[in-house]
Structure 1
Amino acid sequence: KLAIVILLVAYASADVSHILGKAGEAGAQILEQEHNVGPQGEYEFTYKTENGISGQEQGGLKPVSGSDVAAETVQGESSYTAPDGQVIQLSYSADENGFVAR
């Protein structure tokens, strides 16, 4: 059951159309988009739009020491160009200890 939930989360998170709509640029074309989901809950996705928005993420399950359950691990990054021309980049990771933006 956990694997099914992970697969659904991975699939939902790969859809970037809601991000584009909020940015006021719903008409921006997606130039590249790829997503892969493995049988053990691992996944990866990438996207790139014509207006400079891009991102990638990969994740999977890892054993938690002292427990018989697995924790999801995620690493990713995204970037976009702000209205003032500055490129904004965000790298992040998350695991059983929480979310960390860098």
Structure 2
Amino acid sequence: MFKLLILTVFLAFVSADNIDKNAEIRSYVNEAADAEGKYQYAYETSNGIQFQEAGNAAGVRGSLNYVSPEGEHISLQYTADEEGYHPVGEHLPTPPPVPAYVLRALEYIRSHPPAQLKEQQ
């Protein structure tokens, strides 16, 4: 399932007009899942795309590296387990910081609980 997701994302990049359509596969590893569910999959292409993934019944760990159409080096590492998919990469969006007024309001609420909460404590 995880391999299918990554392969789908990779195919979306391959279909873009700016990709080197003459790229060749330089290396390829495909060790199918054994009786315990352990597997390994990896490839590298002549246009700089590198992908690798390994997993077992407990989860998956992998990485993807390539150069974006804008010339930015993209490096994505991820894990996937029973708690979900966990990507890490500098190119991924991050939420904005919590505004100071919200932090002050939360601190006020913490230090001044409503009367009914005081009675329960």
Give yes or no for TM over 0.5: yes
Could you say which structure has the greater relative contact order, defined with CA pairs below 8 angstroms and 6 or more residues apart? 1
Please, what TM-score do these two structures have when normalized by structure 1? 0.67
Residue in 2 aligned with 1:51? 47
Residue in 1 aligned with 2:15? 22
Q: Secondary structure at the match of 2:44?
A: strand
Q: 1:51 to 1:11 in 2, by over 3 A?
A: same
Q: Which one has a bigger Cα radius of gyration? A: 2
Structure 1 stretches of 4+ with a deviation exceeding 3 A read 9-21, 23-26
Matched residue pairs, number?
84
Bigger share in strand:
1
Identity %: 30
Residue in 2 aligned with 1:97? 83
Q: Distance in 2 between matches of 1:19 and 1:75?
A: 21
Task: List runs of 5+ in structure 2 lacking aligned partners.
Answer: 89-121
Alignment RMSD (CA, Å): 2.6
Q: Distance in 2 between matches of 1:35 and 1:15?
A: 13
